[in-house]
Amino acid sequence: MSADVAKRAKAMRLAQNLSQRSLAERAGVSEASLKRFEGTGAISFSSLLQIAAALGCMDDFGALFAAREAVSIDEIAKKRRIRGRG
């Protein structure tokens, strides 16, 4: 998953004709962090947000941890908790 995100970020960087250095400067992250991210997918969440902002992708985080639709008490009562043993 993280490698896929890194590949999409790199593709977006290239589509915007940005070098790794220029994106790193624009995002306020080190060039080494950006290179590691694009190569392995490893990056801190705060740096990922900074890169996303620099690439104009902050709206994509709107659905992350979005509130779920509330359910009725009847629906909750119907669901029985199954405990696993093992």
Alpha-carbon distance of 16 to 22, in angstroms, equals 11
Can you read off the two tokens belonging to residue 23? 């994106």
Does a structural domain hold residue 17?
yes
Does a structural domain hold residue 72?
no
Count of structural domains, the chain: 1
Tell me the whole-structure pTM to 2 decimals: 0.74
Q: What's the CATH number where 6 sits?
A: 1.10.260.40
Does a structural domain hold residue 8?
yes
Give the contacts of 39 (CB within 8 A, at least 6 positions apart): 6
Helix or strand holding residue 33 (H, E)? helix 31-40
Does a structural domain hold residue 69?
no
Does a structural domain hold residue 67?
no
- Going residue by residue through the chain (86 aa), what tens digit of pLDDT does each one get? 889 999 999 999 999 999 999 999 999 999 999 999 999 999 999 999 999 999 999 988 777 777 777 677 777 677 666 666 65
Residue ranges making up the domain that contains 21 = 2-60
Does a structural domain hold residue 46?
yes
